[in-house]
Structure 1
Amino acid sequence: MNIQEQVADITKQAAQKLRQNGKLENVVWVAAGGSFGGFYPAQYFMDHESVKVTSESFTSNEFALNIPKYVGNNTLAIFCSMRGTKETCVAAKKAKAAGATVIALYVLESDLTKISDFNIKYESIAEDTSRTEHVNSSIGLMLAMNIVNETEGYPNYKEAMHGFEIVDAIYRRAVKVTKPLAQKWAQQNADRNPIYVMGSGPTYGAAYIFSICNIEEMLQIASPTINSCEFFHGPFEVLDKNTSVFQLISVGRLRAADERAVRFLKQYGGDKVYLLDGKEIGLNDLDDSISEYFNHILFAPILNNVYMRALSKVTSKDYNTRRYMWKVAY
């Protein structure tokens, strides 16, 4: 059974369990940090494709401290944590106590896998041996696609599942293309602080993870995330010829927003502005009906495994070191 079949099977089982007390009416996606950002493509897909099932995403501690009143017997609650982050486990317990059916995405077994009704093991995005369709963001997106297909039918389901069959090969080619580009970017931005990261729509989650997990957590460099659409409502006032900006250009309906930002960056920014286009990393190799939803699936590992590592090398900062995480009480 491949991962697409495994996810489809678990979705069907979860839907059947929900029907014992009612039906699948709403989904919540709950996680912290990079895992929270990894659910962005799933939420984006639900926002734009789901008619019958409502969907919201929450960072774990917000959910744990203030669980929505609608969470109950008709809720599918999907959690993600590599090692069983404390607040994610607390949030899962509260969802389960409220009557929700719980699915957990995990790497190492923990309290989270004990709490959940169904578990799906994923592979870390940071491991070069991990297959792209097996990382948490891919599995989250698969779950979203299967939820819609199960409840109302998703007309591009076949094309989407085929996309997961070929996305790893596309990613491997993109790594080869971007490595020399990343080296040049890192050399040009080694002394820049902050580094702004911009994206919109289907790339915003990848931009967010690149900022908070890769640049800030791993390299201890300030890195605000800016939505390309919101750039013109305040943030563009910080732009000058020395500002470091990393702009993601998506494939799909939000591309126009990214291109608008690019035009302004080219006119008023300097040589610290960097553009990474989805078309250049292989998103056009996917069927047009589903390529938009795969933006994050390709951007996120390239940013983590190519660009972050290149900046780490140039700045001589070991990306495995931390100041506070896992070291002090928080």
Structure 2
Amino acid sequence: MKVQEEVSQIVKRAVDRLEKQGGVKQVVWIGAGGSFGGFYGAHYFMQQESSQLYSTMCTSGEFIYAAPKNIDKNTLVVLCSMRGTIETIEAAKVARDSGATTIALYVDESELVEVTDFKIKYESLALDESRLDRVNGSIGLCIAMNVLNEVEGYENYDLAMSSFDLLDPIYRKAVVYTTPLAKEWAELNKNQKTIYVIASGPALGAAYVFSICNLEEMLQLDSPTVHSYEYFNGPFEVTDKNRSIFQLLATGKTRPEDERALRFEQRFGGKKLYVLDGKEIGLDDLKPEVSPYFNHSIFSSVLNNVYMRELSYTTHESYETRRYMWKEEYK
């Protein structure tokens, strides 16, 4: 079964359940780390396309301690955890006890699937054999598109669903295209201790995941994530010839923000300024009506599986290395 069909069936069941309780009023996306950041594309889509449904993101830990008061029987909560993060399981219980309907995204079964109403298995973005349409970010986006279509109607629904079939081929071509470029970037940055990642709009979530999960967690490098517009409200003061800057250029309405930041970076930055353009890695192969919403899926996979890996190979640091994660107590 195609992922679009599986998601459509689950969402229909969830929406039908909510309809008996007065309908869906809001969607809350919950996770930790990459599972949290992976929902950015779904959340961004709903912010742009929904006229009635409210969408928000919340980290698992914050939801446990400070769940919004409006979480109730008219709320759909979508949670993601690869192996069953303790805080995400507890967040699911808080959502359940508040009367919300819940959907769990998971790789390995855990208590999370036991305490949620519906579940969808996804494939890890980090594995080469995983299909891009079946990673967590893509499934989250598919859920958002189906919820919107069920509740309000989505004029580009059929186009969007057919676009999921194109994701994996686009990604495979992007890997071939970017690998030699990433090797050069990695060689240039092999001694760099800080890498700024700058993006906006539909690519901001991918920038965030690249910073905290790839560069900081996996390679133990400092990596501030900066919004392309907010770059001019402070961060641009650190720009100089020696600074390593990784600028994402998204497709979609906010691209001018990225291009403005890039123009300044090109004036005052140096040879360690790097640009990854969504148009060059296949996003223009999708119709413009839906292309922006797939920025996260394409960018995140290329950044994780090409750029992070190449930097790891060049620095001779295994990206499996951790200092604290899974080794020290941090409950």
Q: Same fold (TM over 0.5)?
A: yes
SS in 2 for 1:181: helix
Aligned to 1:300: 300
User: Aligned pair 1:27/2:27, yes or no?
Assistant: yes
Structure 2 residue identity aligned to 1:283:
L
1:88-127 pair list within 5 angstroms:
88-127=88-127
Aligned to 1:166: 166
Distance 2:180 2:258 in 1: 23
Aligned to 2:13: 13
Offset of residue 19 of structure 1: 1.7
1:71-90 pair list within 5 angstroms:
71-90=71-90
RMSD: 0.5
Aligned to 2:64: 64
SS in 2 for 1:27: strand
Aligned to 1:219: 219
Structure 1 residue identity aligned to 2:114:
K
Aligned to 1:141: 141
Structure 2 residue identity aligned to 1:184:
E
Distance 1:23 1:157 in 2: 20
User: Aligned pair 1:255/2:276, yes or no?
Assistant: no
Amino-acid identity (%): 57
SS in 1 for 2:280: helix
Distance 1:23 1:285 in 2: 36
SS in 2 for 1:147: helix
Structure 1 residue identity aligned to 2:313:
K
Aligned to 2:204: 204
Aligned to 2:317: 317
Distance 2:23 2:161 in 1: 25
Distance 1:298 1:328 in 2: 33
Distance 1:2 1:179 in 2: 29
**Residue deviations 1:118-160 (CA, integer Å, cap 9, x gap):** 0000000000000000000000000000011000110001111
- Length-normalised TM-score, structure 2: 0.99
Distance 1:55 1:302 in 2: 27
Offset of residue 20 of structure 1: 2.0
Structure 2 residue identity aligned to 1:206:
A
Structure 1 residue identity aligned to 2:55:
S
1:227-306 pair list within 5 angstroms:
227-306=227-306
SS in 1 for 2:41: helix
SS in 1 for 2:44: helix
- Length-normalised TM-score, structure 1: 0.99
Distance 1:279 1:20 in 2: 44
Structure 1 residue identity aligned to 2:271:
D
Distance 2:53 2:240 in 1: 44
Structure 1 unmatched ranges of 5 or more: none
Aligned to 1:183: 183
The number of residue pairs the alignment matches comes to 330
Structure 2 unmatched ranges of 5 or more: none
SS in 2 for 1:280: coil
SS in 2 for 1:328: coil
User: Aligned pair 1:155/2:151, yes or no?
Assistant: no
**Residue deviations 1:87-135 (CA, integer Å, cap 9, x gap):** 1111110000000001000000011010010000000000000000000
Structure 2 residue identity aligned to 1:235:
P
